[in-house]
Amino acid sequence: MRVPFRHPARLLLATLLMAGCQSTGATAPVTAGATAPAATAATVQPVAQQQPASFPEWLAALRTEALSQGIRPQTFDRAFQRVKLSERVVELDSAQPEFTRQVWQYLDSAVNEKRVQDGRQKLQEQAALLSRITRRTGVPGEILVAFWGVESDFGKSTGNFSVIDALTTLAFEGRRAAYFRSELLAALRILDSGDIAPERMTGSWAGAMGQTQFMPTVFLRNAVDEDNDGHRDIWGSMPDVLASTAKFVLANGWRPGESWGQEVQLPDGFPYDQAELSITKPLSEWRRLGVRPLDGGELGGEGTASVLVLAGHRGPAFLVRDNFRAIMRYNPSTSYSLAVAMLADRMTGKPGVRGSWPREEQALSKDERIDLQQRLASLGMEPGTADGIVGANTRNAVRRFQASVGEIPDGFATKSLLERLRQRS
């Protein structure tokens, strides 16, 4: 389904665009590119702006704001010379997937055998560069190459949208207009610095750029001119791509010399209410609770960690440390972080996930997740708001229900569990 703009008539939209372009000395607009992966997380949360009545007014206000921040008029005018609002970007921003993938489905795609082999080849090709960056930052080369692989399949899928078109559309029409306005102004600062020309500034529909998909504000904080050519080029310069990624990962809390974690075995009677990323314990406490390496023996090391069971007691268990959280700050998803960690391990000859996944379990749709939450609430299990998001409150409610019917309380929300709840109605 096509998502309309606030100005639904195509002729009116074209007229407004041309009027907006004329206000900055521009010519005819051009078409935005094809779809691309979603953006990674960024942290700036600007104050919401008043929405003007028309695009020309909005563009004029943006120009005034940009120039007040020191962006040169010629930079702004060149960037918006051929700007085009993209209905496809609005569609992608408005789309809410009905189903989510299970973690094993995501890993099957992100850490497939071809990507592992390609990653090993990239490690060899970039060995000298990676060694230099690792010595300086402490971020292992395989972690950097894993980000590169998961984010853009080693530069093959960086996105073909004009970043200016995409961010302009989202700042004018999107659900998070203030956030994307801030990103658009950051993109203009990048252009003003001369790091990249507007026609080369391409990325995802949400404005994530380059081979490891930085948002513009992330670029401004972390991009590095590693090859010393006077430009921070995360599109075409591998030294800049990898050094910039290392700086970002380090800024996100990477602890040099430590691992991300490991797959573990849990004892019978393990307290699954403790298996949450928000719950950290000293390794000595996990040892006391019977958490063991897969091959037996005792957990080594000191410090703190969390236990994750992303598919309940029938799936693999992971003991994750601070570096797992550092990966998540790049993209706040446990599936994403596990994919980066597993790809890095596989590229260096370590095994992937060894435990088996309950692959017969299908993902719940959003409506089914809401139904699950409502039924748990009706039983007094306190899942929180029925919003279709399975967070800690919902998992704890699932655990309470499982315990009430004599099941292992692992908090894994499944279709079969929903059916059991429906049978109680």
What single string gives the DSSP state of each residue in 362-374?
PPPBHHHHHHHHH
| Catalytic member of 65, 98, 113, 151 | 151
Residue 3 domain flag: no
Output the six-digit token pair for 242: 């990898």
**320: three-class secondary structure by DSSP:** strand
Burial of 269: CB neighbours in 10 Å, binned 0-12, 13-18, 19+: exposed
Which helix (H) or strand (E) segment holds residue 56: the answer is helix 55-68
Task: Write down the pLDDT at residue 277.
Answer: 95
Measure the CA–CA gap between 305 and 324, rounded to whole angstroms.
10
Residue 347 domain flag: no
Task: Write down the pLDDT at residue 170.
Answer: 97
Domain closes at, from 150, 182, 210: 210
Measure the CA–CA gap between 337 and 279, rounded to whole angstroms.
17
Task: Write down the pLDDT at residue 19.
Answer: 32
Residue 391 domain flag: yes
Residue 278 domain flag: no
Task: Write down the pLDDT at residue 424.
Answer: 85
Domain closes at, from 192, 210, 228: 210
Measure the CA–CA gap between 84 and 13, rounded to whole angstroms.
10
Task: Write down the pLDDT at residue 302.
Answer: 87
Measure the CA–CA gap between 215 and 42, rounded to whole angstroms.
7
- Expressed as residue numbers, the domain containing 20 is 10-97+158-210
Tell me the per-residue pLDDT of 363-422, one tens digit each, with 9 for 90 and over: 999 999 999 999 999 999 999 999 999 999 999 999 999 999 999 999 999 999 999 999
Task: Write down the pLDDT at residue 52.
Answer: 55
Residue 83 domain flag: yes
Phi, psi of 78 (to 5 degrees): -70, -40
Measure the CA–CA gap between 199 and 212, rounded to whole angstroms.
19
Nearest in space to 317 (alpha carbons), one of 271, 252, 249: 271
Residue 330 domain flag: no
Residue 275 domain flag: no
Alpha helices in 69-112 (DSSP H): 73-79, 87-94, 103-110
151 is catalytic: yes
Q: Which amino acid is at 299?
A: L
Output the six-digit token pair for 358: 């309950």
Task: Write down the pLDDT at residue 134.
Answer: 98
Task: Write down the pLDDT at residue 28.
Answer: 29
Beta-bridged to residue 304, according to DSSP, are 282
Stretches in the chain below the pLDDT threshold 50? 1-49
Percent of the chain residues past pLDDT 70, beyond the cut: 86
DSSP 272: G
For the entire predicted model, the pTM comes to 0.85
Task: Write down the pLDDT at residue 412.
Answer: 96
Total tally of structural domains belonging to the chain: 2
Nearest in space to 341 (alpha carbons), one of 320, 360, 355, 369: 320
Which helix (H) or strand (E) segment holds residue 147: the answer is helix 141-152
Tell me the per-residue pLDDT of 330-345, one tens digit each, with 9 for 90 and over: 999 999 999 999 999 9
Tell me the per-residue pLDDT of 307-320, one tens digit each, with 9 for 90 and over: 999 999 999 999 99
CATH of the domain at 192: 1.10.8.350
Residue 340 domain flag: no
